Amino acid sequence: MNITFIDAGVLVTAARGVGDISEKALEILADSERDFASSVFIKLEVLPKAIYNRQTEEADFYATFFSAVTYWARDLEKIIQDAHNIGCQYGLAAMDALHVAAALSVGAGELVTTEKPTKPMFRVTGIQVISIFD
């Protein structure tokens, strides 16, 4: 099984269901050959806004995904330290660095994102970064 860390943008794209890119996101989330990994950082990015705006179906979609997550990034102190180092080394923004560090902390082999392949996240070594825009 592949351990796959799903970026917040992929969840939002899948939940909102608009166009071909949404189909690609849903296809990845439906792939039975993947075990999914996540973190509280992803939850913080997607759930509060959906709940606040009373987007019940969207919030339910996220909750369903999170209930299917097999690997949770839990050592937050280490993840934050690693994110700082990753951000400095590769020029990543804070949330991207946290997501990469969280993915690496659970041994994910890939991180699926909506970032374009020209973004700093794709400089990171040690994990395969995959854009659904490829």
Q: Rounded to an integer, what distance in angstroms lies between the CA atom of residue 26 and that of residue 38?
A: 16
Q: What is the dihedral of CA 32, 75, 10, 69, to 10 degrees?
A: 30
Which amino acid is it at 62?
A: Y
| Domain ranges, residue 96 | 2-131
Terminal-residue alpha carbon distance, the chain: 22
pTM passes above 0.75: yes
> For residue 25, what is the DSSP state?
H
Contact 126, 105 (CB under 8 A): no
Instruction: Provide the CATH number for the domain around residue 57.
Output: 3.40.50.1010
Interval 7-51: pLDDT, tens? 999 999 999 987 889 999 999 999 999 999 999 999 999 999 999
As given in the structure block, the two tokens for residue 114 are 């909506």
Whole-number pLDDT of residue 100: 98
E strand intervals along 39-127: 71-72, 110-113
Interval 85-124: pLDDT, tens? 999 999 999 999 999 999 999 999 999 999 999 999 999 9
Which amino acid is it at 57?
A: E
As given in the structure block, the two tokens for residue 94 are 């804070």
| Strand, helix or coil for residue 75 | coil
Q: How many domains, the chain?
A: 1
